[in-house]
A and B are shown apart, each in its own frame.
Chain A
Amino acid sequence: MDITLPILILAIPITMFLVLGIGGVKMSRKLAGILGICGLGTTAVLAYIVALTYYFSGDANFIIDGVRQQYQVFDVTWLAFTQRLVVNIGFLLDPISALMLIVITTISFMVHLYSWGYMEHEPGFQRYYAFLSLFTFSMLGLVVATNIFQMYIFWELVGVSSYLLIGFFYKLPSAVSASKKAFIVTRFADLGFLIGILILSYYTETFNFVAMTNNPAAVLQEFGGATFMGASLLTWAMVLIFTGGMGKSAMLPLHIWLPDAMEGPTPVSALIHAATMVVAGVYLVARMFPVYCVVDASLTFVCYVGAATAFYAAVVACAQIDIKRVLAFSTISQIAFMMVSLGCAYDLPIEGVHYSGLGYMAGMFHLFTHAMFKALLFLGAGALIHAVHSNNYTAMGGLRKYMPITHWTFLIGCLAIAGIWPFAGFFSKDEMLAAMFNRHWFWGAWMMMVAGLTAFYMFRLYFLVFWWEENPHYKEHKPHDAPWQMSVPLIILAAVSFCCGWIDFGQFVTWNGVPYHIHIEWVKVAIPSLIVAICGIALATKMYMKKNDLPTKVKDFWPTLWEAAHRRFYWDEIYMFITHKIIFGIICKSIAWFDRHVIDATMDAFATITQKASYAIRGMQSGSIQAYVLWYFFGAIILAAITWLCLI
């Protein structure tokens, strides 16, 4: 493949960032918006061409005997520190990076278009588009990285753009603290990522993904039997690398930043905090999957973390008032679903069939469908917020008559995430559950319960927003559907969420490139999961469709639990306690004491001694020239005497 298109895919967004970032203040809003949308539209077209060429052209670089290959379009030396430590920059095409190219550019384009309507009256419109371009550039760079160091660089860049966009309304103190929180928490996780990279590459002597993943057994061998604190060093490396993914993908216990990140503009939440950046952790595990496969312990760790997070987030989502927070926790839960799916994918034949590809394929499939319907839900939430000027469902209710387009698209999104046939979520969730049941029935049952909770809280949200009872405020301020720039992305994404489950995904993305034939196991998995989802929906319908006192009764049945779930099981308080009381209060205070009383005091002593000494002898500078000469004369005599004594 020619390198022009891949380079342009990266070059256009960064150029747009520079043009809009530097020249934005001189541009009109309209020009900036059109420039941003056109730039991203071009990128999307090019990315589609590249991805579709990869999947369908049949070129020998991309596919050999039906097995999809990893192909490095280019891979050039960027920084050569030493002979061994060389950082490359390149463009890797393989099933998952081509998939991500499509997902990122699609969602990003939708969000660009949507923002034109949503952000119309906000100050700093041009700056907003500049940051969106920067984010798109970083995310594209992340997914096409040929080596883990390049991925790390772009990983930090998406962190920065996320920080900038969460704090877009920088005059709101809550937005400022949310952006700082997001940056610090993910940065803290990235420390683990960096250490993991260093350990891994120290032994493998390469950063390159292709070299590492094509021969994971060699990686295992290079590590030898090196162990640290009871676990093998390779396990440590992989777990530490996963820590970075935990931070970005908001896994327990590093999830605290994502709900707060909802302070950013809603389209940003749709793009960054639902569809693309937060799945970077899943992408990272998928990217390193062959290596994870040979290190059972680290994959099990992924599985446990995912399962705990999925359940936790689903429970918390049931007790949130802010509709964006519900969606945020739903995102955490769904990403955890993907993690468990990856964690359940082992390279072990069960009854003669290799199921290893299933969990991987299903996780990636869900990543794809989830990006579509979650972006749809977030953009729908944006339309609602646009209409009623509040984030809380208490200000909504009965909106279905006023906002038909939003209502129908949101319903499609909810059905898709609940996993109802024939919407997209059904297919991907079915495959994931099948993979989990293959691993162990416990994982399947556990995650099926989470899926039921998902159906419940999504429909709770849906009914509370669109049914329940009409808010009396509508008489003063009648809500209406959003302008076309916002409705068109909703309709497109709804159509995609409706039908993208029918794609024969196994033909395109598998862990080893060998096509996998999806067959839905109706009896064992699909029908039970459908029943669970329908039960969840039915419960939500019973409780929330018409105004009644059932929710209050349920709440009063065990108020402590509701309060705890509403306060997200006090994770923020725990963090506050650890940072303020323990780190600031005990550790930092003692360090500050040491600094003040030992280090500073030593320096002060030097200064004081010098000053005192000079005060004591300053009388010698009397102002009388003759005294100086006398001193000089004696000095000269003494020097002469010493010289003379030395010479004889």
Chain B
Amino acid sequence: MDLSMLWYLVPSVIMLVCGIYGFITRKNLIAILISLELMLNSADLNFVVFNRYLFPGSMDGMVFTLFAIAIAAAETAIAIAIIINIYRSIGNTDITEINKLKY
């Protein structure tokens, strides 16, 4: 069965917009992290799709996506560690409380 590229790109855009929306509106750091992952995954999806449809002979996009997933996992680990530390020092994970780093 033939699916055009659009069938993949539209969910990707929806994922990205959800991610952005979540990132801006959520108060909980964990939720923000999840939104972030959502945006990252939509980008990964794009890589794979473009590779598959535009350059069928090569594997660059696939390999790149594997790397991106691995790095995203590491990054998530660091983010979780930071969040835990923030929780230990101020007792919650509310983003509105964390605004000391400014002018």
Contact = CB atoms under 8 A, between A and B. Distances in A.
Interface of A: 618-619, 621-626, 629-630, 633
B101 A629 contact: no
B9 to A, nearest CB: 16
B58 interface: no
Interface in B10-25: 20, 23-25
B102 A622 contact: yes
A625 B99 CA distance: 8
17 contacts: A621-B102, A622-B99, A622-B102, A623-B98, A623-B100, A623-B101, A623-B102, A624-B95, A624-B96, A624-B99, A625-B95, A626-B23, A626-B25, A626-B95, A629-B20, A630-B24, A633-B24
Given A630-B24, A633-B20, A618 B103 contact: yes
Nearest to A625: B95
Contacts of B95: 624-626
Interface of B: 20, 23-25, 95-96, 98-103
Contacts of A624: 95-96, 99
A181 B43 CA distance: 78
B18 to A, nearest CB: 13
Contacts of B23: 626, 629
A568 B58 CA distance: 99
A629 B103 contact: no
Given A626-B23, A633-B24, 17 more contacts: A619-B103, A621-B102, A621-B103, A622-B99, A622-B102, A623-B98, A623-B100, A623-B102, A624-B96, A625-B95, A625-B98, A626-B24, A626-B25, A626-B95, A629-B24, A630-B24, A633-B20
Contacts of A619: 103
Contacts of A618: 103
Contacts of A630: 24
Contacts of B101: 623
A633 B25 CA distance: 14
A59 B25 CA distance: 105
Nearest to A619: B103
A623 B24 contact: no
Contacts of A626: 23-25, 95
A633 B20 CA distance: 8
Contacts of B25: 626
Contacts of B103: 618-619, 621
Top 3 A-B pairs ranked by shortest CB distance?
A623-B102, A623-B99, A618-B103
Nearest to B96: A624
A624 to B, nearest CB: 5
